[in-house]
Amino acid sequence: MLVTFAALVPTALAAWLVWQVVSGPGESEPPKVLPAPGQSSTVSPSPQDGTASTSPAPSKSEERSASPSKSKASKASKAPAKPAGGSGPLRGKVVVIDPGHNPGNFQHASEINRSVNVGNGSKECDTTGTSTNAGYTEARFTLDVAKRMRTTLERQGATVQLTQDGGRAWGPCVDERARIGNSAKADAVVSVHADGSGEGNRGFHVILPASVRAGAADTTPIVKPSRDLGERIAGNYLKATGQAPSNYVGGGTGLDTRSDLGGLNLSKVPKVFIECGNMRDSQDVGRLTSGAWRQKAAQGISEGIVSFLGG
């Protein structure tokens, strides 16, 4: 049974301040992806399993997205979630989990590189994401954590939908990811990621939607509830995993507000991203590549969602 940690955030924030005194100030700007020294900036899929080889990490611009396609690949994500009929504190609640990227994106460069409108600009449909130096990809990480979250939340009675569960060839695009949450009338949406910054940059951060009103984007109604969701996730994630807030984004708070992510700009329901750690830092990698630790990550994010939904 999950425990609701509604009162955890103030404690967690106090812990962040203590940690920040030890580790120094973080940067306020989002990091750029840096390849490891002496290595190329492209990850090649392995011929055996379609995941990355030991050549690391392409730049991850954002997310992540894919506009709707008429191919079989896109049809799997279109059915809206229906309220759960099971018992539990989240009975009747709908949660959409968005595993960042897709393991198959490496083989579909033309599809994921095309531009989609995100309200106040345009972004790539999706990206390949980053990877560890040893070739463990962000797409594999996010899908694993998302499936663990689904199991945890369904046990609480929630109806859970993933934007992709590994059954489609690529994507979806960032605008489609937003539409999936909107169509489901989700009570909460969380997009799961891992960062690709440089060695020495470590820790997690939760990305909140900025106030954006442009084109199809109007985040005004979701800014406040999304912040509440993000703060609860940050506090519970810190408690469950022991992962410190980012020392390079968010000024030690573990929170970052952005206006350039289509998955947030186009959302009509409360939504946040979480960068669970940095896949390019040797200390964080030890956690991100551990199945036992990924279970803690899934638990912490899920407990934040439960707290937000009042379960």
- pLDDT-derived band at 233 (thresholds 50, 70, 90) equals very high
pLDDT tens-place string over residues 282-299? 999 999 999 999 999 999
Cβ pair 271, 207 in contact under 8 A: no
| Strand, coil or helix: 30 | coil
105 part of a folded domain: yes
* Among 198, 270, 261, 260, residue whose Cα is nearest residue 232: 270
144 part of a folded domain: yes
Q: Which domain holds residue 177?
A: 89-309
Q: Is 46 exposed, middle or buried (CB count within 10 Å of its CB: 0-12, 13-18, 19+)?
A: middle
Residue 143, φ and ψ in degrees, nearest 5? -65, -40
262 part of a folded domain: yes
- How many whole angstroms separate alpha carbon 222 and alpha carbon 285? 33
| Strand, coil or helix: 239 | helix
Asked about 231 being catalytic, the answer comes back as no
What pLDDT is recorded for position 300? 98
Residue 179, φ and ψ in degrees, nearest 5? -65, -35
- The CATH number of whichever domain residue 224 belongs to comes to 3.40.630.40
Name, in order, each residue with C-beta under 8 angstroms of 1's C-beta and a sequence gap of 6 or more. none
60 part of a folded domain: no
80 part of a folded domain: no
Pairing of strands 213-214, 217-218: antiparallel
- Reported pTM: 0.76
- How many whole angstroms separate alpha carbon 93 and alpha carbon 152? 14
- How many whole angstroms separate alpha carbon 208 and alpha carbon 309? 17
Q: Which residues pair with 257 in a beta bridge?
A: 208
Give the active site residue among 62, 63, 138, 275.
275
Cβ pair 52, 135 in contact under 8 A: yes
pLDDT tens-place string over residues 170-208? 999 999 999 999 999 999 999 999 999 999 999 999 999
What pLDDT is recorded for position 158? 97
84 part of a folded domain: no
pLDDT tens-place string over residues 158-174? 999 999 998 999 999 99
Joined together, the tokens standing for residue 195 give 């960062």
pLDDT of 119 higher than 60: yes
| Mean pLDDT of all residues in 4-27 | 39
pLDDT of 27 higher than 50: no
Q: Quick one: the chain helix, strand, coil %, rounded to 5? A: 35, 15, 45
275 part of a folded domain: yes
| Mean pLDDT of all residues in 137-164 | 97
Joined together, the tokens standing for residue 173 give 């695009």
pLDDT of 265 higher than 80: yes
Considering its fold, how many domains does the chain have in total? 1
Residues composing the chain: 311
58 part of a folded domain: no
- pLDDT-derived band at 87 (thresholds 50, 70, 90) equals confident
